[in-house]
Amino acid sequence: MSAPDVDALRTRFARHVCQTSAAPVGLVVERAEGCWIWDASGRRFLDLLSGIGVAALGHRHPDVEAAIERQSRRYLHTMVYGEHIQDPQVDLATCLADVLPRPLSVTYFTNSGAEAVEGALKTARKHTHRPGIVAFEGSFHGDTLGALSVGGNPVYRRPFGPLLPGVRFLPFDCTATLADIDDTVAAVIVEPVQAEAGVRIPAPSFLRALRQRTREVGALLIADEVLTGLGRCGRLLACERFDIVPDLVVLAKALGGGLPLGAFVGAPEVMATLSSDPPLSHVTTFGGHPLSCAAGLASLRRIRGERLWERAEARGLELHAGLEALVESGAAAAVRSLGLLLALEFSSAARAGRFVAGCFERGVLAGWTLHDDRVVRLAPPLVLGQAEQDIALAAMREAGTDLHHGS
């Protein structure tokens, strides 16, 4: 693409695509493959974000592309959700039932993680006949009105109030306050790791105590694994690292293999709530689109077949060890990780921003977190190779050296 064409594209982007920040990254994407993205000038960038966890197999994985092509030749949308039997949906739901811990065996497909959160909250209220919902400070569950209502950052809730009533917030990773969950609560929604809050990893005792408390009062436990699920955190689900099984698990991002797809999964008796009194209690037109389900099935089969959660665990430990050099040099304040979900914490937002810019200059894509702008989050593809890891670490160390020297 020529320079005038790129300039015109940027102008139309700013004019006609609704802007969500004053300074978007602005990378003009030409193509992507594996762990790399190329811009319109032909320069390549190592993607350490994988579309915020979407491209678990990297970009344009051959298995996923082949599945999309096969399905596109058969049919696309035929009927609203749940009326026609579409084998991509059925096959993906069956595969999820095979790999998720019991009793999570019935799936409701949506278009996105936020929609899945909405469906899970509705299911919990209808199943328990209770109004209350408990969420945690610092959490992020999406930007639709209901999902925003359980988001733990008041800065993002405030402009859109009044929101969903009956929501209470407790401090994350604080076992002492779990007694505030009582028998008026329909559901407690929690991220096993708070990604947008800076990759906050709780003590195992916290999530176990939360699981116990919800059972005591008869509330459903909803685990939001939109980012942490499907291998990212060194297990298929991050919950498995903490030895808990939720009543409902929310999935998205990596679930669609690069196409839009979300889901919430639960036990048969919980999910049956949506089929009666009244029937069609929760419906969607495009949720579980056959093209997305075909891509998602190909992706999940590859993740499962190669046990990519084990690779994520090993790669994550290596990256963590490599990034410790930035802490030791004083460039960064801390490094945290669980599998291939990593955080570099800096002393200020300005230093985090300069680090991200330094990585970009060196052809590496990183980004800060929504709720803590001092933290740079990394979520590379689960297929990140050794050579790519070496490139990433070298670039980040150089960017850190620039900070350390005050350049």
Strands 132-136 and 167-170: parallel
For the chain, list the domains and their CATH numbers: 3-61+307-404 (3.90.1150.10), 75-305 (3.40.640.10)
- Whether the per-residue pLDDT at 407 is higher than 70: the answer is no
Q: Residue 47: its pLDDT value, please?
A: 98
CA proximity to 256, closest of 222, 219, 283, 230: 230
> What DSSP character marks residue 349?
H
State the average pLDDT for the chain. 96
Compute the average pLDDT of residues 280-301.
Answer: 96
Cβ atoms of 139 and 197 closer than 8 Å = yes
- Whether the per-residue pLDDT at 166 is higher than 90: the answer is yes
Q: Residue 402's pLDDT band (boundaries 50, 70, 90)? A: confident
Q: Residue 81: its pLDDT value, please?
A: 86
Strands 334-338 and 341-345: antiparallel
Q: Residue 40: its pLDDT value, please?
A: 94
SS3 131: coil
H runs (alpha helix) in 17-86 = 50-53, 62-74
Is 253 designated active site?
A: yes
- Whether the per-residue pLDDT at 379 is higher than 80: the answer is yes
Q: Residue 152: its pLDDT value, please?
A: 97
**Each residue's pLDDT tens digit, 112-132:** 999 999 999 999 999 999 999
Residue of 45, 140, 242, 264 marked active site: 140
Tokens describing residue 1: 């693409």
- Choice among 3-7, 234-238, 290-294 with the minimum mean pLDDT: 3-7
User: What's the pTM value of the predicted model, to 2 decimals?
Assistant: 0.96
Distance between CA atoms of 407 and 405, rounded to whole angstroms? 6
Is 224 designated active site?
A: yes
Question: For residues 1 and 194, which has the higher predicted lDDT (pLDDT)?
Answer: 194
Compute the average pLDDT of residues 357-374.
Answer: 94
Q: Residue 4: its pLDDT value, please?
A: 73
- Whether the per-residue pLDDT at 404 is higher than 80: the answer is no
Compute the average pLDDT of residues 35-43.
Answer: 96
Question: CA triplet 280, 281, 284: central angle to 5 degrees?
Answer: 70
- State what percent of residues in the chain have pLDDT above 70: 99
Residue of 253, 264, 346, 372 marked active site: 253
SS3 119: helix
Helices 308-328 and 386-404, axial angle in degrees (round to 10): 20
- Whether the per-residue pLDDT at 27 is higher than 60: the answer is yes
Q: Residue 406's pLDDT band (boundaries 50, 70, 90)? A: low
Residue of 224, 242, 346, 355 marked active site: 224
